Amino acid sequence: MPDTTAATADVAALLAAAADQGPGDTLRIVLLASIVGGVLLAWFLLRGYRTDDTDAPGGEDGTAGTGGNTGRDANA
């Protein structure tokens, strides 16, 4: 019959060592949230610089368009 107290002591030592690994999960979550936040911030800031050329004459949808005279161009 195997000695169960030695196996129990080994398991307890492994669990204690595994619990003392530092802030790995927390740092992983913070890093992932930072990356996702950076991507969303870049998307939000860069979408304001997008040029929308679909209203130009002879647009992709085959319509005549407005000639690019949008409200955004009125004050330029």
Q: pLDDT tens string for the chain (76 positions)? A: 456 666 677 777 777 766 667 788 899 999 999 999 999 999 999 998 877 766 555 555 555 555 555 556 556 5
For residue 70, give the amino acid letter. T
Q: How far is it between the farthest Cα atoms of the chain?
A: 90
Q: What is the pTM of this model?
A: 0.42
Among candidate residues 75, 70, 39, 74, the one with its CA nearest the CA of residue 52: 70
